[in-house]
Amino acid sequence: MTNIFFELHKDLPREGPGDEASTLKAFGMMEGLPSNPRILDVGCGPGMQTIDLARHTGANILAVDTHQPFLDELQRRAERAGLAEQIKVQNESMFELKFPENSFDVIWSEGAIYIMGFEAGLKKVHPLLKAGGYVAVTEISWFKPNPPEEVFQFWRKECPDMDSVEGNLLAVERAGYRVVGHFSLPDSSWWDHYFNPLKERIAMLREKYPQDPEALRVLDEQDMEMEFFRKYSDYFGYEFYVVQK
Ligand SMILES: C[S@@+](CC[C@H](N)C(=O)[O-])C[C@H]1O[C@@H](n2cnc3c(N)ncnc32)[C@H](O)[C@@H]1O
């Protein structure tokens, strides 16, 4: 991460849209899990969802990310919450997950599977799951066809593989899973733990770097994402997909 990117994202509650109720709703769709399921949280970031899962489900969670400060933050949060026994963090790239086959009951990834590509990521983690195991991921998705040109172009640049919900459901099946269920994250899950804290951070960094064109470019882009969400959240958002091997 560049410095400005790090400063923008450091110590935020989470690194993408999401909320406790949605995390637990997705978990609740998984039937027949053992009482202490083994979960791999891929691209965990600072781990709000990791904490929520550990606290409410009794799961043992291995949380992986490549950004060490996020892992350190999650470790601190787990200790503060008395969940350090249940949550282990590991600096590991999702491209090189070296775990034995059939290791996990559940693979979790909120807002991070896109880094491998939605379908490619689902295929990649398939061997790590036990038979009948589940994957829960959130992925930015088109909710309606024919979005206005400006928002279409923005996401084409930021996330070239972004697909419709229907397109992603087909990708789930091509990757070797059945769809258990899916739902859209509410708008509040973008604002409460993600955009609102980010807005405050942007204002602070604009004061700190008034003459730095690179910093201002990054801040402008982040502002634009929020503005597009405000204007066009009918057209796109995060969809939670729960699927079974
Ligand atoms: C949009 S954030 C989502 C974080 C978290 N799941 C959340 O919802 O707050 C994406 C995360 O993927 C991590 N990441 C980026 N490349 C990665 C890689 N190759 N392997 C593992 N994690 C990666 C980033 O450091 C970041 O924490």
Task: Write down the pLDDT at residue 3.
Answer: 85
Asked whether residue 64 is assigned to any structural domain, the reply reads yes
Reported confidence tier of residue 1, pLDDT bands at 50, 70, 90: very low
What is d(CA 27, CA 22) in angstroms, rounded to the nearest whole number? 9
> Residue 15 falls within a domain, yes or no?
yes
Per residue in 212-231, pLDDT tens?
Answer: 999 999 999 999 999 999 99
Element (H, E) at 149: helix 149-158
Whole-angstrom Cα distance, residue 190 to residue 122? 24
Domain count for the chain, please give it.
1
Helix axes 48-57, 20-28, angle to 10 degrees: 50
Does a structural domain hold residue 181? Answer: yes
pTM attached to this predicted model? 0.96
- Tell me the CATH number at 132: 3.40.50.150
Mean pLDDT for the stretch of residues 72-99: 97
Show the domain range for 180.
Answer: 10-148+161-188+236-244
Residue 120 is predicted with a pLDDT of 98
The one-character DSSP state at 74 is H
The percent of residues above 70 in pLDDT, for the chain, comes to 99
In a domain, 199, yes or no: no
For the Cβ of 159 lying below 6 angstroms from any atom of ligand 1, the answer is no
Residue 1 lies in a domain: no
Among 9, 44, 225, the mutation site with the greatest number of ligand 1 atoms within 8 A of its Cβ is 44
Q: How many Å lie between the centroid of ligand 1 and the Cα of residue 115?
A: 8
The answer to whether position 221 is within a domain reads no
The count of other CB atoms within 10 Å of the CB of residue 174 is 10
Q: Is 210 part of any domain? A: no
In-domain check, residue 125 = yes
Distances (CA, A) of 129 to 51, 104, 112, 136, 173: 21, 5, 18, 12, 16
Give the separation between CA 231 and CA 214, rounded to whole angstroms. Answer: 26
- Judge if the beta carbon of residue 70 lies within 6 A of ligand 1: yes
Cα–Cα nearest to 115, from 150, 67, 151: 67
Distance from residue 169's CA to the centre of ligand 1 (Å): 22
